[in-house]
Copies of this chain bind each other. A is one copy, B any other.
Amino acid sequence: MTAFAALSALLGDRFTTAAALRAAHAQSETHVTGGLPDGVAFPETTAEVAAIMAICAAHRLPVVGWGAGTSLEGHALALHGGITVDFVRMNAVLEVRPEDMLVRVQPGITREDLNRALRATGLFFPVDPGANASIGGMAATRASGTTAVRYGTMRDAVLGLEVVLADGQVIRTGTQAPKSSAGYDLTALMVGSEGTLGLITELTLRLQGQPEAVSSAVCGFADMVAAVDCVIETIQSGLPMARIEFLDPAAVAACNAYSGQSIPELPHLLIEFHGTPAGVAEQAARFGEIAAGHGAQAFRWAEKAEERTALWKMRHAAYHACLASRPGATAIVTDVCVPISALAQAVEETRADIAASPIPGPILGHVGDGNFHAILLVDRESPAEQAEAKRLAARMADRALRLGGTITGEHGIGMGKLGHMQAEHGAAWAVMGTLKAALDPLNLLNPGKLVPPHGT
């Protein structure tokens, strides 16, 4: 039996080679394209995923996992063809354990759907990358976002996994206990492995209590150095910020135009505190004092829920606001992460680099983590602009490494950053290749991604 016949026998019309569906899985939200799968599978159970993997292993067909298609670096594009496994039908909440503040889910559920399902429990899933990504994809990318400064990244949020390995075997990692020192941390090895070591079929996630009180604010600074110094002092003083974001003047201008705000076009911080009413009030007051010491201006507290919602809606819409600021443009979105002491320098140098190029590129990011993004707006029809944007992104990555940081804080490697892995990891990159070869000797799982090219 051919592989396709075996997959059809297994899945019926949930396996397809239809051109439109293959094409739909050969594009992601951003500029990254390429890699047409030979077929797309829509499993409903772990057993089906294991069977798909076994069939593909027997026929030496590559297998690529697919979540919500919101990757910014083309992680899920089938560079070497094969079968794309779309988890859209595996999107159930399997178990909520409120006393243990845990939830067990299938990988295809999106973070917004998960939080809707949790609403009545008083708990929420905190990792917030902006996009309504799938939880499985967020784990595979080691995603984070606006709340990582308080609640951590997917590295912290995932307590355990069920994974289908390259030979079709199913393993479980982690337990439901809050911690363990029993052996290698396979959970952490799988989180961030971008589908190259296994297919995640189930996740046990840590939840957080919905805060009793929330307080948000926005304030401007004369320059980036003042804004970052304010953040460093806030962190060192132990104030437990739930979010602290920054927007550069270009990003502020784009948000003003898109979201109908009239914020002064200065570097801005958006901040949020979670806690008890008294705790939040104290934290807000302390932050106000620290910010004033760094010359904060145009301070505006969002006391009411509607004001807060408008503020964070503006932040989450920033990507689309930036896109709209150059009509007809597409975006090359890139992220780096540096030690916070180097953040002002990294942002200022990046801004100067972008200013010297013909491309607009607002900058924004998660300042509490030293993580920032440039949204490089390029003409869809201009290969020259696209090449220039890629050069700007490469220089950002080089700069991050020079400053002790990493080439990506939360977007992952995908297709865009593979060329910088050797520079970041040195000899450790080959070690990643050794681990990949040990767990996937036929190089079937998302080939062409993350590790050194096969055979080199």
Contacts and interface: CB of A to CB of B under 8 A. Distances in A.
Interface of A: 97-102, 122, 141-144, 148, 153, 155-156, 165, 169-173, 175-186, 188-189, 191-193, 197, 208-209, 211-212, 232, 235-238, 240, 274-276, 278-279, 282, 286, 337-341, 369-371, 400-401, 404-413, 417, 420-421, 424-429, 431-432, 434-435, 437-439, 450-451
A448 to B, nearest CB: 14
Contact of A236 (B98, B178, B193, B401): B98
A425 B170 CA distance: 12
Contacts of A170: 427
Nearest to A427: B171
A27 to B, nearest CB: 21
Given A238-B211, A409-B177, A186 B337 contact: no
Given A173-B428, A404-B175, A431-B186, A181 B411 contact: yes
Given A170-B427, A181-B192, A184-B435, 12 more contacts: A99-B339, A99-B341, A141-B181, A172-B425, A175-B424, A177-B400, A179-B410, A182-B417, A182-B424, A183-B425, A184-B189, A189-B435
Contacts of A341: 97, 99-100
B337 A180 contact: yes
Contact of A428 (B186, B276, B412, B427): B186
B339 A102 contact: yes
Most buried by B among A182, A185, A286, A428: A182
A175 B369 CA distance: 13
B183 A413 contact: yes
Nearest to A409: B179
A272 to B, nearest CB: 15
Nearest to A274: B238
B179 A337 contact: yes
Contact of A155 (B102, B169, B188): B188
Contact of A148 (B144, B156, B179, B400): B179
